[in-house]
Amino acid sequence: MRLGVTGLRKAWPGLTVLDGLELRVDSGEVVAIRGASGTGKSTLLHCLGLLDRPDSGQITLDSQELSSLSEAGRTAARARHIGFVFQAFHLLNDFTVRENVLMSARTAGLDLTEGRARASELLGRVGLGERDGDVRTLSGGERQRVALCRALLPRPALLLADEPTGNLDPATAAVVLGEIIALAKAEGSAVVMVTHDPEVARRADRVLELRAGRLA
Amino acid sequence: MLSTHLGIRWLRRRRAAWLALAAITLTVAVPIIVVGVMQGWLEVTARQARAAESDVVIVAPGVTGSNKLRDRLEQIPGVAVAAPYTQSWAVMSRTAGGEDLRANIACQVEGIDWAADWKLGRLTAAALHAPPVTDLSAPPLPADERGTGFVTQTWRAATALAGLQVASALGGMPISLPPYQRPRPGVVCGRELLYPHAMLPGEEIQIAVPNGAGGTVGRITAEISDTVGIGVLEIDRFLVLAPLPLGQRLGGLQAKDDRAARLSGWRLSAQPGAEPHAVARAVVQDTGLRALTWQDLRGNLVKGMEIQRNIGALVMILIQGITVFIVYAVFSTMVVELRHDIGVLRGIGARRRDIAGAVLWAGAVACVGGGILGWAIGWGVLAALNPFSRATGIPLFPQDVIYTPEAPISYTWWIPLLFIVTMTVIGLLAVLLPAWRAARVEPIDTLREGA
């Protein structure tokens, strides 16, 4: 088991979003999480990605307890062990395609020579081996592939994707989704995807429904 | 390094950063220009003040002028050359021109051994005969007649006449010549002493030292041989250089009966590398006479200008302080603009210190880069000042105010260094708050906003 979540609880004033949530994801496994709007899917993803602190509960990644880490420890864990793919891509417009991909090598403190080789390899695998330059000139699908390469560059144990195909047309979404699943499995990453898209859910190894703060 | 990478890229891609760069460039260039001229003026004044003084002066009225003492002084460690002098406050007046033009003018007569004085390195030709650019109230001697010290035009004519008379005595001349008249001795007068009174080289003057009882200690009649223009008013307004025996006669120091001729003191030059104060101490220890360095005598003049320069530099630093607001505004705006990117970077594992460091790096690069650019512009403007003045005919530094042929300019290394360092410190202080704000951006907030 790569990712284990036990008794995760997160509440806002007057609203309990996550209520003793349990989750296990194995290496190379793709788990899709569905749920109606406002049920806490993104909150769950933010807690798993150490962007937000749960009120209680434990998150372990490769047997390492993450939820009690200090601010610096959480930042380091995000840099080295967790990859993010967002619906809005969140690329950095001041940097080129390759620099965006390489940015996660910089934040993780990896060797830049190796990082460059890995960036080329990943970009080649998603069909962007020849593309560089301003990221604003890329299409939505290309941007999402660049974001995927950035997320996977440090070989994260956990890949979190929040509506990764939400901004893409169905054909592009299918291609990007295929690449996420293929690359994550090849890297042995545990994948948790939040989605409304039935196609995404269909291609996942497991589909879980978030309801009343718990997964079913 | 992540901070460097981010900081430089953010700076390059933000147009507002160029505003900060321009402000920094200007506030480094302007102080370099202003203080460069002030420092240049100070250096020129120090040289001018220095030109009138030797390294060390023995102030000992009545001291003997014997060669034995000169030899002894030149044996003292650190002393290179010793030259005798006399000094007397006197009253100068015209011998011609009518009563109303015979004003009594206060002057300070220095009797000098011209040859010995030149060995001191004092009163160089450049200091004596600075070429005037603007039309002064009266021109000094023509260039080909300068550097002659006490040799007057009358002396030249008399020397030529003496040669002809020798030839006449030997029967080599067809006509008889006028009787030989011994010319008056020459004296060199400060320009500021002569010109306000419309006096010119070639004029005959009388100089007397009053004895305080209605009479005189000494009185001479002389011809003005040349002018001296050190450039320091308090020197040029009073100085009269006379041959040493004349100075001794004026001050009552000439040989009398069994008493040898005396002096007001000795001027000494220090050997290269010898510190004037150390030489002065050695002289006092060896001779028991009072010895002062040129800094003791004229130091206040230079110190006064140093104070002015320091105040000028301080004002410039305060002006640099205004840039704080521009740099702060630019970097605060930059952080607001970059809030999304900073959130993403924090989300993918950039540390707070990486983000703060990036903003500080951007600030440092802007300050140092703008500083170096300001340095280049500042020195460029300084280099262009005099050519501009010549080309346009606009006298930036009127020659009748300061006796230098061109605007005094200093390219001293510490001036740009001072203003680049202060600008960098000021700039970094201005960037501290935006950097702190950038480091506090929470990734969860920006990712939620951008989702």
pLDDT in tens, B317-346: 999 888 889 999 999 999 999 999 999 999
CA distance A108 to A60: 20
Domain membership flag for residue B71? yes
Dist CA A169 CA B335 (whole Å): 34
Q: Which sign, positive or negative, has the C-alpha torsion B172, B175, B181, B185?
A: negative
**Cβ atoms of residues B203 and B224 within 8 Å:** yes
The reply to whether B251 and B317 lie within a common domain is no
Partners of residue B447 in chain A, C-beta under 8 Å: 46, 51, 86, 90
pLDDT of residue B451: 46
Q: DSSP 3-state assignment of B216?
A: strand
Q: Which of B221, B252, B273 is the last residue of a domain?
A: B273
Residue with tokens 């050695």: B282
Q: Which of A59-63, A181-185, B143-147, B309-313 has the lowest mean pLDDT?
A: B143-147
Buried b (16+ CB within 10 A) or exposed e, B299-321: eebbeebbeebeebbeebbeebe
Same domain flag for B191 and B98: yes
Residue at B197: amino acid letter:
H
* Gap between the Cα atoms of B396 and B419, Å rounded: 24
Domain count, chain B: 3
Is residue B16 a part of any domain in this protein? Answer: yes
Asked whether residue B211 falls in the same domain as residue B326, the answer is: no
Residue in B371, B359, B373 with CA at minimum distance from that of residue B11:
B359
Sequence-separated (6 or more) residues with CB below 8 Å from residue A165: A144, A172, A173, A174, A176, A177, A195, A197, A199, A200
- CA distances, B143 to each of A121, B132, B401 (Å): 82, 11, 21
First-to-last alpha carbon distance for chain A, in angstroms, is 19
> Considering the domain boundaries, does residue B162 fall inside one?
yes
Contact flag B349-A104 (C-beta cutoff 8 Å): yes
Chain A residue closest to B12 (CA)? A94
**Residue of B10, B352, B450 lying closest to A90 (CB–CB):** B450
B5: closest CA of chain A, how far (Å): 9
In this prediction, the answer to ipTM > 0.95 reads no
Nearest CA distance, B340 vs chain A (angstrom):
8
Between the ranges A199-203, A211-215, B48-52, B251-255, where is the mean pLDDT highest?
B251-255
Is-contact B354 B2, C-beta < 8 A?
yes
A149, A126 contact by CB (below 8 A): yes
Same domain, B99 and B117: yes
B291 assigned to some structural domain: no
State the pLDDT at residue B176: 66
B31 φ, ψ (degrees, to nearest 5) = -60, -35
Residue in chain A nearest B355 by alpha carbon: A107
CA A206 distance to own-chain centroid: 16
Is B338 found in the same domain as B224? no
Q: How far is B18 from chain A (nearest CA, A)?
A: 16
Q: Is A89 left (phi over 0), alpha (psi -120 to 50) or beta?
A: left
Question: Does B201 map to a domain?
Answer: yes
Q: What is the pLDDT of residue B134?
A: 32
By C-alpha distance, the chain B residue nearest A80 is B349
Mutation target among A46, A51, A167 for the B interface, most CBs of B within 10 A: A51
Same domain, B321 and B264: no
Closest CA to A166 of A152, A153, A176: A176
Say what the pTM is: 0.73
Candidates B296, B294, B277; CA nearest to B50 is B294
- Is A81:A60 a contact under the CB 8 Å cutoff? no
B316 and B416 in one domain?
A: yes
Last residue of a domain, one of B273, B294, B323: B273
In B29-168, beta strands by DSSP E? 56-64, 79-94, 105-112
| Position B51 in a domain | no
Look at residue A23 in the predicted model and tell me its pLDDT: 92
| Residues of chain B predicted below pLDDT 50 | 129-147, 451
User: What letter would DSSP give residue B342?
Assistant: H
Query: Would the CB atoms of B451 and A162 count as touching at under 8 Å?
Result: yes
Q: Are B7 and B96 in the same domain?
A: no
Would you call B11 an interface residue with chain A, using a CB distance cutoff of 8 Å? no
**pLDDT for A81:** 92
Residue B204 pairs in a beta bridge with B223
Would you place residue A134 in the very low, low, confident or very high pLDDT band (cuts 50, 70, 90)? confident
A162 interaction partners in chain B (CB closer than 8 Å):
451
Tell me: do B119 and B175 sit in the same domain: no
List the single residue in B with minimal CA-CA distance to A159.
B348
Residue type at B417 in one-letter notation: L
Residues B353 and B269 in one domain: no
Distance CA A36, CA B384 (A): 74
Instruction: Judge contact between B81 and B196, C-beta under 8 A.
Output: no
Residue B348 with chain A: CB contacts under 8 Å: 78-79, 84, 103-104, 107, 150-151
Q: Does B349 touch chain A (CB under 8 A)?
A: yes
Measured in degrees and rounded to the nearest 5, phi and psi for residue A20 equal 70, 40
B282 belongs to a structural domain: no
Residue B410's domain spans which residues? 2-45+303-450
Across A133-157, average pLDDT: 88
**pLDDT attached to residue B450:** 57
Q: Which residue of B has its CA nearest to A154?
A: B348
Residue B117 shares a structural domain with residue B264: yes
Give the burial string for B181-217 (b: 16+ CB within 10 Å, else e).
eebbbbbbbbbbbbbebebbbebebbbbbeeeeeebb
Both B73 and B87 in one domain: the answer is yes
Cα angle value B103/B108/B110 (rounded, 5°): 130
Residues of B in contact with A76 (CB under 8 A): 349, 351
B146 CB within 8 Å of a chain A CB: no
Structure tokens at B56: 């060390």
Cβ pairs bridging A and B (under 8 Å): 65
Q: For residue B101, what pLDDT is reported?
A: 61
Q: Is the per-residue pLDDT at A37 higher than 60?
A: yes
User: Which tokens go with A120?
Assistant: 């080329």
Write out chain B residues lying below 8 Å of A160, CB-based: none
Residue of A nearest to B339 (CA): A92
pLDDT tens by residue, B155-201: 777 777 777 777 777 776 666 666 666 778 888 888 888 888 888 88
Chain B positions touching A84 (Cβ under 8 A) are: 347-348
B123 is a domain residue? yes
